[in-house]
Amino acid sequence: MKVQCKVGCKLPRLTLLATFIWFIFCIVAFSNAGSNILFALVAMPVVFIWSLIWLGRLIISLRNKGHDKAGIKHGLCYWLFEPIVIILPLILAQLGVFSIVRFALSEQALSNYAEQVRSGSVDIAFEFNHPSRRVGLYSVTFTDLLPDGTVRVLTSSHGLLDRAGFANSPRTPPSRRGEDSYKHIHQQWWYWYESW
């Protein structure tokens, strides 16, 4: 079954479902503090295979229709839809749009959590053994309170061996430890990259 677009092209429901799933995958995979290499390893072959299938279908369609420009023009939105939907979420992820939106939706919960850690309401003595906690839209796997009052939380992996998360620091910037690095988000919030 096909769905009619406002501009007149018909898109198969399977295509719409695949693009919806792809968009959701990109939002979830590329909106955390770090860049998880496993998600990238899944995304690369998906993009490659999907692009080859699309290109094959386009070549077959052009071969069947000949070089009649009227025939190609009627299918323009159909043929541009998939490449745009494949590339657009990757561009948005690279620009950090998904990450910014996810952080903005979770900022209040993360701020409340940081205050609970500072006040002692959250017991961080057994942080290596605790199950992950849901804080906003993030799964916090580790929490750390530095002597200067900086609260650091890990939410994802970053690259092959490193991990990433957020730091809420009353001073600017947070104190560096070892090879850890920070990237400012806004106000007291920083991305935290923990080196292995």
Cβ(71)–Cβ(141) under 8 Å?
Answer: no
> What local confidence, expressed as pLDDT, does residue 2 receive?
55
Average pLDDT over residues 47-53: 94
- ∠ CA 77-14-49, rounded to 5°: 80
The whole-model pTM stands at 0.80
Residue 47 has pLDDT above 50, yes or no: yes
Q: How far apart are CA 30 and CA 90, in angstroms?
A: 8
Confidence of residue 70 (pLDDT cuts 50, 70, 90): very low
Whole-angstrom distance, CA of residue 182 vs CA of residue 112: 21
Domain chopping of the chain, boundaries? 2-95, 99-194
Choose between 159 and 87: higher pLDDT: 87
